[in-house]
Amino acid sequence: MEFKKNQEIELTIDDLGNNGEGIGHVDGYALFVKDALPGERIRAKIMKCKKNYGFARLMEILPEAGDGSTAGDGCGEATTSAGCAASDVGRVEPKCPVARQCGGCTLQHLSYEKQLAFKEKKVRDCLERIGEVDMSQVEWLPILGMTEDAEPWHYRNKAQFPVRMQKDETGTMHPVTGFFAGRTHSVIPVTDCGIQDKCMKEILELVLTWMEEQNIPAYDEEKHRGVVRHIFIRRGYHTGEIMVCLVVNAKGLKGNSGEALVKKLAAVPGMTSISLNVNMEKTNVILGSQMVWLWGKSYIEDSIGDIRYRISPQSFYQVNPVQTEKLYRTALEFADLSGDEVVWDLYCGIGTISLFLARQAKKVYGVEIVPEAIENAKENARLNGIENAEFACGPAEEVVPRMVGENGVGSGGAGANSENLAKADVVVVDPPRKGCDAVLLDTIEKMAPKRVVYVSCDPATLARDVKVLGEKGYQVEKVRACDMFPHGGHVETIVGLQKQDM
């Protein structure tokens, strides 16, 4: 069958894609339909056709096949409202009024329980299909969801809100902030986001008022003019400390508008750090390299478990504090430390996992590419009185092989008198989405730790790397997924691998 743009077709959705979009098939041709759910029979309009797959827009959810109901019972309009389709697909009314336009949450229309089931299945499918893992040999622990201890709402401790000028009903331009509509750069004005920390609304509104009062324009991407590009906010979940950083297309703020901003923001309870980040490039990258400190400290602090962390605007810090603690505890559990181990934490960020492990290890080495994060990691070790953690800056695939090469490998590698830097009993990796570099996996093999704990934010690259580690003699023993991003499509996974005697 030939498909063309704007054609309307009926199909049944049978799966969810990586971004939470429904996937259905017509004559073997896959169609991605945002907002549609597995089990639903729908009418969709084709928007874009590629050779083997296409994208379609959800027009109508049709009555369940064979249930005898007709479109005349109120389900006939172009709607995604619940009630018409099979009840067990898990469709719920999204909490956010702008959920369908906003590019942020992709799964708000699916019940939280079903979201967790979908994520768990995604991890399992990847490990089986791409990783070729024999699941009968694996201890599969249930996904860690946000169920018992906290609501899966307002969980995000960090946001970067784009700011743009937009016309109101009278045609007057005003600065607005919110979120980019899916796949576009037009801003949907919302300050009251369902997944962001509740402190953010007030701060966003204060910044917008300040812009109006001081006549400071928002950035215009096309003309590369205007000032405020993004409002970056981070809040320490346990400390309540707040950091606000305005990303500006300027070297500083004119006149005394900086003081006016500080006056407004410093009054917000918990405000700890106010700054500017200079970004004058034509780029989609949010932060530039130069900071201008306006008020307070250059960092905020937060804690995970009993470890306190210092976080600067540039550093990576997990966005869901409640789930992060569960993730790290699981990594610690899978590392199974007795206190005598030398542990490597690769892609360590500000040393979050390293310090979590240090209390139960002999020595921890952390490696990370961002210099500011490594500075934070060192400070964090000092702050917590941890003396058995060391940090090195650079790409893990270069730094680790060099350290291993200089110091010998394996548990007894180095000379009797030199400290055996390359000794590794346990290696923890927590790479970005693209996964581990192949050179690093080769190096891990040379280091020959007894266990590898792989923390991953992308099940597909995790599975690819797990397969490589399998060929190097590491077998998957335990798997646990963790839902760091309720209502979004992504899932975090912790895998415990054990070295087999070959």
Catalytic residue among 105, 348, 457, 482: 457
Smallest distance from ligand SAH to CB 156, Å? 15
- Catalytic, 193? Answer no
d(CA 332, CA 396): 21
**DSSP for 98-115, written as a single string:** TTTTBSS-S-TTB-HHHH
Cα–Cα distance measured from residue 5 to residue 315, given in angstroms and rounded to the nearest whole number: 44
Q: Is 128 exposed, middle or buried (0-12, 13-18, 19+ CB in 10 A)?
A: middle
Q: Which of 40, 241, 302, 430 binds ligand SAH (CB under 6 A)?
A: 430
Q: Kindly state whether residue 348 participates in binding ligand SAH, applying the rule CB under 6 A.
A: yes
**CB closer to ligand SAH, 102 vs 304:** 304
- Interacting residues with ligand SAH between 437 and 456 (CB under 6 A): none
Based on the shown chain and the rule CB under 6 A, indicate whether residue 241 belongs to the binding site for ligand SAH. Answer: no
CA end-to-end distance (rounded Å), the chain: 52
Residue 39 — left, alpha, or beta (φ > 0 → left; ψ -120 to 50 → alpha)? left
115 near ligand SAH, rule: CB under 6 A: no
Q: How far is CA 133 from the centre of its chain?
A: 25
Strands 492-499 vs 474-482: parallel, antiparallel or unpaired: antiparallel
Rank residues 272 and 318 by Cβ distance to ligand SAH and give the closer one: 318
Of 91 and 310, CB closest to ligand SAH: 310
The piece of 72-80, 118-126, 203-211, 427-435 that touches ligand SAH (CB under 6 A) is 427-435
- Whole-angstrom Cα distance, residue 36 to residue 58? 7
Pairing of strands 22-26, 8-16: antiparallel
Give min distance, CB of 375 to ligand SAH, in A.
Answer: 13
Q: Is the dihedral angle over the CA atoms 328, 333, 338, 343 positive or is it negative?
A: negative
- The answer to whether residues 241 and 270 touch, using CB atoms and an 8 Å cutoff, is yes
Q: Least distance in Å: CB of 331 to ligand SAH?
A: 9
Of 108 and 320, which CB lies nearer to ligand SAH in the complex structure? 320
Asked if 334 touches ligand SAH (CB under 6 A), the answer is: no
Give me the 377-416 binding string for ligand SAH, x by CB under 6 A, dash otherwise.
------------------xxx-------------------
Site stretch for ligand SAH (CB under 6 A), options 126-134, 300-308, 314-322, 404-412: 314-322
Residues in 250-289 at the binding interface with ligand SAH, rule: CB under 6 A: none
Beta strands in 279-423 (DSSP E): 290-296, 300-304, 307-311, 342-346, 363-368, 389-393
**How is residue 81 written in tokens?**
């409202």
Tell me how many residues contact ligand SAH (CB under 6 A). 19
Among 157, 318, 461, 493, binds ligand SAH (CB under 6 A): 318
Beta strand segments in 342-450, E: 342-346, 363-368, 389-393, 426-429
Selected binder of ligand SAH within 368, 372, 425, 445 (CB under 6 A):
368
Residue 485 has what DSSP assignment?
S
| Comparison of 178 and 349: residue with beta carbon closer to ligand SAH | 349
Instruction: Return residues touching ligand SAH (CB under 6 A).
Output: 316-318, 347-349, 352-353, 367-370, 373, 395-397, 430-432
Active-site residues, by number, are 457
